[in-house]
Structure 1
């Protein structure tokens, strides 16, 4: 500070203290409180309070308009607090109003007001801090310009620690957790894993060496964009009917004839078996697919399997969104059976089928060639499962429960 406190401290009147007043407001704009700013410019705290709060007697000069406030745009995006809102917050805080009451008067969220006070108040203990609206506005304006130097780029010690662990092929999540454990009392040495990813991926920041991206699990040098769920395009030409439109009777398992289906895959993704499970009875049918799982093959094999069932057992089929069912509309016409599709990444919506696939792995282990099994062997395995007592059926077998339900239906 190049301001020199005057040697003679006697009263000189407002016009003689113009230099002190201008220096006072410059210090206030930097965030100093009234007491400290008054001490630095050599005036009584009462004088500083009068300058700041505008309590002037007639004939006294008003505080000068600050150039940066005059140059500030009049309209600011509505997501940001305006200067008049900050003045309202300061006035209501002096009146001991609650944060929720202030937020309601401004039409803002209480957390917005709470964060504003915590960020822009003067430093001090709970009983000493003050909220000054003009200083708060200046602080907010100073933080707003972009781009900003990131936390990792601004702290050489933190940058060195993150880079050393990345060289050891640690993941950003592992690094972020280790920083919290190693430096529990140093917030400047703690970052989230997202901050580390941004320091690696965001162009132009230069906070971490670009070659460190090769140490990540994926080895990507740029972030992979993911489509939002509402922007996904269907892989099928014919529109899918989702599981939410499936009849309610399928959900409560009271009526037989609603099936769940899927494929189990063999070694090197080169062999497959189709599985069908009836929801009410857990009755299993296995579909022989020895050569491939193209949409045409799956359509014809499923239709042939469903043709062996009576009409009472053909009400619906629920499948996942695998490409093998891209000709589902043709299968529905051939088998006279509507097909419903699960939501993406929701295998629990075919819970009976998923459970049965796990049971089938006892006979068709993972990593084995499934094309060696004949259709006769598949029928024998299905018969064995259908004759096994099930706890969920009150220790009846699926075959017994199916026979009982068909008898009641007829």
Structure 2
């Protein structure tokens, strides 16, 4: 197909430039003239003929190949306005009228957890991230969005992948920075021989890992991997879900605390290991609900080892299949909900039917938040404010907190 030239009209919700006719232009910025060949709905092999004044030098040498960061080449103010606009557009589509606050930078020192992929290409072990919209691997030598606490994450991931190379298995290596050192969980290897287990234990010593596990099963633990949450100290389950950055967790927790201030009893839905529950428990009775049993176990263990907290309870419950019913919610003065990306439609319907006066909704998807907000508003809640947070710098992913009152 012959080459064509297009003008980028705007940046779409997934981070691609958009030209007339709905043509996606990878890495295109508004106002740029880009040449390339059309392949279905995408411009391939793009070349910038006229660059935007907002185009800047990317922070990473792998930019344009690695699929992790899409917008390193866009100057900060324009990028931040676009990211806030993702939330504005999402709530507008659901006819939700609310003032969206300016985007809050929640990057801090950088991301404190990463998942590296490892593949065997012949005799070569490749460790890195996937290309965008592809299973092809990009071997990486740096990742500037990671926290300094993960400086050794890539070297240790590479060493572990090389130790497992003879198994020729595609691996995912989950690395988390904790207060006591790096915590690494290996996924995809299958059962390991005693000799390989000894090799991995030696690598844990060499890189001073806190813990090394395989699919959550212990290989070696040299120190308990933990993070402070409020007054508590949480021993993390392997590959545990956490907010992406420490700064993001602190900012979201502050917003949650402000939203339920003065409440004497709080339900924390999708509570995880206690990111919000353990902080709220300094001032209120809290009951957390979470489908992941190991997360609830970690939460309850943290509570038992902490002085100065109010009553805290935890229940293993799948809130998608068994949302808290309106009658069950009556005993709580406030509710915090932090569902995964698909939102919590069934639970939102029960909240809308309930008599709960205050609700703080933490979301990692503006689209599903807006859908659930519509249900809550139709049920009598008033959405007072929405604040977006940028934990995933250079990406289309945006966190937000919505404060609801009756």
**Range of TM-score over shorter length:** under 0.3
Larger Rg computed on CA atoms? 1
Q: Which has the higher contact order (CA 8 A, sep 6+)?
A: 2
- Structure 2 length normalisation: TM-score? 0.21
Q: Higher helix share goes to which structure?
A: 1
Between Structure 1 and Structure 2, the one with more strand by share is 2
Please give the TM-score of this superposition, normalised by the length of structure 1: 0.21
